[in-house]
Amino acid sequence: MRESQRPLVAAATLLGIGMGGFADGILFHQVLQLHGMLTARVPKSDVTGVEINMFWDGLFHAFTWLVTAFGLWRLFRVAQQRDVPLPTRTFVGSLALGWGLFNLVEGVIDHHVLHLHHVVERLGPSPYDWLFLASGVLLLGLGWAAIRADAVAPGTRQRLHAAVPHE
């Protein structure tokens, strides 16, 4: 990765983490309701269990929101630097990198280490947990490849070389 790519990569990775966190929360917690934040500890078998999980879901989403807000702030700062290139491939790749990081880190910690919940709670530990990790690795790999491709692509390379790291 080029030095001049780092600020954009970091900002977009934060946004990707946020997108991953909200996608998890919206899709798995709310729409499909396959699990809640603590469903392996507090089953959603009655209203109280649902409410308790909703509370912890909310805290998780609050921190996801903070990460997204921080990413937006960083991206704004990067956009203010006129000498920093903003290649689309690096931006999209970094979003994928962040999303993949989220799936990988959240999956390992919450599903496999702490056992707070599993992707399909009804099944407990299941291949879906590993599929979630695999999606993280895939997104992370695709994102990293896109960032690397921009670092070595002739047109982008010149712009990245010409840019001065802004910190």
Partner 1 sequence: MTGPSRALRVAALVAILAGASPILFARAAHACPVCNTETGAAVRAGIFDDRFVARLLATLAPFPVLLAAVAALHHGWPGGDRPRSPRPPSQRDPERRAP
Least distance (Å) between residue 72 CB and partner 1 = 14
CB nearer to partner 1: give 3 or 124.
3
Whole-Å CA distances, 57 to 131, 153, 166: 22, 42, 37
Which residues have C-beta within 8 Å of that of residue 17, sequence separation ≥ 6?
64, 67, 68, 71, 98, 99, 101, 102
Buried b (16+ CB within 10 A) or exposed e, 7-18: bbbebbbbbbbb
Least distance (Å) between residue 13 CB and partner 1 = 5
* Contact positions vs partner 1 (CB under 8 A): 1, 3, 6-7, 9-10, 13-14, 17, 37-38, 41-42, 47-49, 51-52, 54-56, 59-60, 63, 67, 98, 101-102, 105-106, 109-110, 114, 116, 157-158, 161-162, 164-165
CB nearer to partner 1: give 37 or 133.
37
Least distance (Å) between residue 50 CB and partner 1 = 8
